[in-house]
Amino acid sequence: MQFSAMCQNLLGEGETANYVTTGSWSEGAIAEAKKYCIPNEVTNNKKHKYTTVDDPSTWNVDPNAKFMHYCRNETIQGLEFHEFPYHVVPENQLLISDMSSDFCSKKIDWHKHAMVYAGAQKNVGPAGVCITIIREDLIVKGQMRPNTPMLCDWHKYASAPNTFQNTPSCWSIYMAGLNLKFMNDRGLDAITAEAEHKSGMFYDFMENSNGYYSNGVDAKYRSCMNIPFRVAKGDDAVEKKFLGEATAAGLIDLKGHRSVGGLRASIYNAMPEEGVQALMDFMTKFKKENN
Amino acid sequence: MQFSAMCQNLLGEGETANYVTTGSWSEGAIAEAKKYCIPNEVTNNKKHKYTTVDDPSTWNVDPNAKFMHYCRNETIQGLEFHEFPYHVVPENQLLISDMSSDFCSKKIDWHKHAMVYAGAQKNVGPAGVCITIIREDLIVKGQMRPNTPMLCDWHKYASAPNTFQNTPSCWSIYMAGLNLKFMNDRGLDAITAEAEHKSGMFYDFMENSNGYYSNGVDAKYRSCMNIPFRVAKGDDAVEKKFLGEATAAGLIDLKGHRSVGGLRASIYNAMPEEGVQALMDFMTKFKKENN
């Protein structure tokens, strides 16, 4: 929904926005933006099969765009900005980030961002909630474009702290609240350290597999949350066997997104180190039996 | 969201729609329609303080409108169409009904309706779900108006039975599924009979209170789901006392909507007859002590 809402609330007639394309979610964002403007695609890493990002010095940035949008972590391709190249953002241009899949796994540089949004269903809570944090001066009454549904009107939400435009997904919000409290007690630094440790051991493990397991993403952009990988260089039959045996061993949801195939290990905050270890143990055994 | 979506998906440029205004939710629907067309207000019962509806023979129906929209049950005003005056709908004009608050409490005449929608949070399940039932020939690829958010595009939903445009509110959907099964096993006739019995005994009780408790709605339009009422002809101090003592006695959520004041008893499917009886017992005692 925020794909539309950010355009509907921020873009006036004739204004445009910069979009950084690094995977499926950025592609979704720019597709939606085309309904509201002619978006400027700053860079597109499809030519690299989404495994890296062109050097930011080569990006085609429109200095007159209203905002620049990027997705911090691409779940399908497993590509994450550990630090966005803030220097490419023109002064006074708003920076917007879709942090759906790595929200609450690492710090956000609030001084750099005008708006951050995140579906809750990864690290925060159950599906049914989208957390949207917007710089206060950007929430202006009546600024939304004509034909904007009430539920996309930021000002309506912000101006009604004691009421609602609709009946929200109460249970999901309540559960997210409990988990936010839990994470807050734990501290973000500890959570970040654990995320880096869990994903790091898995990348290391694959690097030591003599190419039997592989993740093609540039080390600089490797995701701490989602790690797509191939088995036996992407041999269909072997990957199917892997998935079947893994599922039988209780290691579930390892199928890669249908748009890219292969396998994928998602290591959100709720996945304990023991879970990653169990997967690696299985993979060691599978390799021994099948290589 | 369906307030917008039905206009975005069904109304072409220059087309309009008929809106029946009978309370706050119909007012919300027509307000949203003004973003997409010049809606024709068929009738408006605000002049009657929402207690009845003008005779349908006097309604100002636009024969060329694309659809006619009504809200079957107004939660705030406690006004319900037990049978919509179908004869006023011009032939071939689509009839759309917001059944959010009485869905699954009575039958729907499917042959008369082109689209029915209902937020789940009354009789169906937890908040976070909207059930939308649309005649199949009205779901057409690319028919939606420009600038329509993806999440309002009916065709996107309908054409993707095995995937999703977003991660839906899974828990709410699962719980709604369990309750739908439960209601199906019970049978709609039994549920309708209970709803009529529970609300009937409460209306009768008030009629026998010599005006101490009053609900001003025309008997023909009395809601089986939401019964607004006044205590001591709407005496502020007495109603405040009533609310305080009722809450202390465990009878909660009886405050009327802030837009109309007074009290309101919502008697959705999940409220047992014992709950209605407990409220009446409290009201009998309160009247004895305060009248």
Q: Which residue of A has its CA nearest to B5?
A: A149
Asked which of A183, A214, A232 is the last residue of a domain, the reply is: A183
Residues on chain A bordering chain B, Cβ-to-Cβ distance under 8 angstroms:
1, 3-5, 8, 32, 35-36, 119, 121, 126-128, 145-152, 166-172
Judged against a pLDDT cut of 90, whether residue A163 lies above it is answered with no
Residues B154 and B243 in one domain: no
Q: What is the pLDDT of residues A181-209, one digit of tens each?
A: 999 999 999 999 999 999 999 999 999 99
Same domain, residue pair A202 and A172: no
Is residue A118 located within the same domain as residue A242?
no
| pLDDT tens column, A273-289 | 999 999 999 999 999 99
Q: How far is B105 from chain A (nearest CA, A)?
A: 20
> What residue numbers bound the domain in which A28 lies?
2-183
| pLDDT score, position B80 | 98
Binding-site residues on chain B for chain A (CB distance < 8 A) = 1, 3-5, 8, 32, 35-36, 119, 121, 126-128, 145-152, 166-172
Same-domain status, A227 and A271: yes
Shortest CA distance from A175: residue in chain B? B171
Q: B128 to chain A: which residues are within 8 Å by CB?
A: 128, 168-172
Q: Find out whether B216 and B51 touch, Cβ atoms under 8 Å.
A: yes
Same domain, B219 and B162: no
- Is the Cβ pair B171, A128 closer than 8 Å? yes
Q: Is B78 exposed, middle or buried (0-12, 13-18, 19+ CB in 10 A)?
A: buried
Write the pLDDT tens digit of every residue in B212-236. Answer: 999 999 999 999 999 999 999 999 9
Whether residues A168 and A249 share a domain: the answer is: no
CATH number, position B57: 3.40.640.10
8 Å CB contact of A172 and B168 = no
Confidence of residue A162 (pLDDT cuts 50, 70, 90): low
Q: Are residues A193 and A221 in the same domain?
A: yes
DSSP A155-173: HHHHT-TTS-SS---HHHH
Residues B54 and B131 in one domain: yes
Tell me the pLDDT tens digit for each residue of B55-71: 999 999 999 999 999 99
- Best residue of A25, A98, A147 to probe chain B, by most B CBs closer than 10 Å: A147
Express as a percent the part of chain A with pLDDT over 90.
89
Q: Which value does ipTM take for this structure?
A: 0.89
Q: What is the pLDDT of residue A79?
A: 98
Q: For testing the chain A interface, which of B8, B24, B167, B178 should be mutated: the one with the most A CBs within 10 Å?
A: B167
- Same domain, yes or no: B132 and B273: no
Are B5 and A148 in contact (CB < 8 Å)?
no
Count of domains observed in chain B: 2
pLDDT, position A103: 97
Residue B55: CB partners within 8 Å, gap ≥ 6?
A: none
Do A11 and A112 belong to one domain?
A: yes
pLDDT more than 70, % of chain B: 98
What sign has the CA pseudo-torsion A109, A110, A112, A116?
Answer: positive
Instruction: Tell me which residue in B147, B167, B169 faces A145 most closely, judged by beta carbons.
Output: B147
Q: Residues of B49-61 as b/e, b for ≥16 C-beta within 10 angstroms?
A: ebbbbeebeebeb
Over residues B36-48, mean pLDDT: 97
A164 and A243 in a single domain? The answer is no
Q: What is the pTM of this model?
A: 0.93
Residue reference for tokens 């087309």: B15
